[in-house]
Chains A and B, each alone.
Chain A
């Protein structure tokens, strides 16, 4: 249970930024 919590929390912390990086790259590529 504890590991699951830490895993989820870590993803919540890191994934938005990672997803954002991909989205920004996609938007830039689409823009170009």
Chain B
């Protein structure tokens, strides 16, 4: 017959029901023996007080053993029945009952495979999160870089603007155009100068 170790009950009680019953059995049995011993002592004392009593202690011992044997038989039989009821009705976790500390086994049962999948998913999410953080850093770094570059470019453009302003401050609306017209005018001047020189030569010659 396979022994039911009643581990689930032991988890709840902190002892195995069988041990508990054994403890009770031994205690009860000890009391039965003790009381029988006390009874025998009392009887022997009583007999000492009776004059010419022909009952010997050995006889009394035999009577005690006879009665005890009888009582022990009944005791074991009755205790066996009581133990069975104890183990079935009192020191037992009914099969449909789950202990509070195991509630999660029913509220969210998780198999090993599912649990491994979950851990794999967590790992992937962690990698993904790291990637996103690196991306963020790279993007922020580029934004910083862009700020510097933009500042430089704007500085250059400002420079150009200042040049324009300088020209404008000196009476020329648009510095470049004025420089262009200046070049054209000076070219006209050169042409005039050339023609004047030619005329003066003619005059000298004539």
Is B18 in the interface zone, CB < 8 Å from A? yes
Is A19 in the interface zone, CB < 8 Å from B? no
Is A12 in the interface zone, CB < 8 Å from B? yes
Most chain A CB atoms below 10 A, which of B5, B12, B18, B99: B5
- A2 CB contacts on chain B under 8 angstroms: 16, 18-19
Q: How many residues in B have their beta carbons less than 8 Å from beta carbons of A?
A: 14
> Contacts A2-B16, A2-B19; is A9 near B10 (CB within 8 Å)?
yes
- Name the residue of chain B whose CB is nearest to the CB of A20: B104
B101→A6 contact, CB < 8 A: no
Among A8-24, those with CB < 8 Å from B are 8-10, 12-13, 16-17
B interface secondary structure, majority? helix
A2 to B77: give the CA distance in the assembly, Å. 24
- Name the residue of chain A whose CB is nearest to the CB of B101: A13
A10→B101 contact, CB < 8 A: no
**From residue A19, how far is it (CB to closest CB) to chain B in Å?**
12
B19→A8 contact, CB < 8 A: no
Is B155 in the interface zone, CB < 8 Å from A? no
- B5 CB contacts on chain A under 8 angstroms: 1, 5
A10 to B12: give the CA distance in the assembly, Å. 9
Chain B residues at the A interface, C-beta cutoff of 8 Å:
5-8, 10-12, 14-16, 18-19, 99, 101
18 chain-A/chain-B pairs, Cβ below 8 angstroms: A2-B16, A5-B5, A5-B6, A5-B10, A6-B10, A6-B15, A6-B19, A8-B10, A9-B7, A9-B10, A9-B14, A10-B11, A10-B14, A12-B7, A13-B11, A13-B99, A16-B101, A17-B101
